[in-house]
Structure 1
Amino acid sequence: MAAELIEGDTNPGKVKIGIVVSKWNSMITDKMLDGALKALKGNGIEEADITVVKCPGSYEIPLTVQKVLENRDVAGVIALGVVIRGGTPHFDYVCDAVNRGITDLILKHNKPVAFGVLTTDDVKQAMERAGEKGNKGGEAALALLEMISMEQKLTS
């Protein structure tokens, strides 16, 4: 007897998606947002079914994601931001807070949140991940669609 295999795909059908994007480092996050929107639309998600919410910075992403999960009928949320290492421990505090906050929200709301928050050593690395060598916003969107599809298959 073969093991049962349940795997998501990038075509969950008609679903509503939230995107939370940080305005800090917008020259990078705007490209990530474009990549996420392109990936969603390329996989059948209609623009009318996408809610984009912009927050000030990456530190504010978890609260903003929480508000979207509580106030919009979405199947999941894509969190997009950039934290670039500087000369102080600020980088570590922000990265840890965003990671913990999003993880807590996934478990609290039982809905997927794709982690598209770049944590890089410099602007060049962030720019590469926002389009020059792939787009992490688009990758986060595809991951979210797979998680929604997998959840649909698990609960049907």
Structure 2
Amino acid sequence: MATFEGCFTDVSSLQIALVVARFNDLVTTKLLSGCLDCLTRHGVDTTSSSSQLDVAWVPGSFELPLVAQSLAASGRYQVVVALGAVIRGDTPHFDVVVAEASKGIAAVARETGIPVIFGVLTTDTMQQALERAGIKNNLGWNYGLEALEMGSLMRALGRA
């Protein structure tokens, strides 16, 4: 029986793209910082001159799937991380954005065969979002780990 697992070592050849929503940037910049910290500590070159990592900014979480699709389809990356924050308001807009972002990001992964990490916080309040982006725990770190694990898993499966 074969067992396949991703790992967090030997990631020097892994090409990673991050797509970050500007809307709620108080939160998303913290998620980005946590993700970059994780990737750096695991050996990914995150310097501004890096050829291993690229960051694309989009207006909001609704736009994440389109740019994630473009990056995943480029053939340059083994994994894409989508970072965003959607905070519930008084209108149904929250439900529309969350539904389309999540369905779109999942569709990109299925259609391209490239893992796309869903790093979009969906919270009821700004306080909850800030707690998940660094006050209590920075989920950006977790999204970085997921990227490393999925990228290396796909490589182990012969898909990267």
In which range does the TM-score fall when normalised by the shorter chain? over 0.9
Asked if residue 92 in structure 1 is aligned to residue 95 in structure 2, the reply is yes
Runs of 4+ deviating beyond 4 Å: none
> Shift in Å at residue 4 of structure 1?
3.3
Structure 2: runs of 5 or more not aligned = none
Give the letter aligned to residue 56 of structure 1: P
Give the letter aligned to residue 142 of structure 1: L
- Select the structure that is richer in helix: 1
Alignment correspondent of 2:128: 125
Q: How does 1:1-156 map to 2 (within 5 A)?
A: 3-13=1-11, 14-47=13-46, 48=50, 49-71=52-74, 73-155=76-158
Size of the aligned set, in residue pairs, is 154
Name the SS of the counterpart of 1:134 in structure 2. coil
Name the SS of the counterpart of 1:100 in structure 2. helix
Taking every aligned residue pair, what percent have the same amino acid on both sides? 40
> Shift in Å at residue 153 of structure 1?
1.4
Supply the RMSD in Å over aligned alpha carbons: 1.4
> Shift in Å at residue 72 of structure 1?
6.0
TM-score of the pair, normalised by structure 1: 0.94
Aligned-partner Cα distance in 2 for 1:147–1:90: 31
Aligned-partner Cα distance in 2 for 1:42–1:4: 30
Deviations 1:83-112 (A, max 9, x none): 000111111111000010011100111010
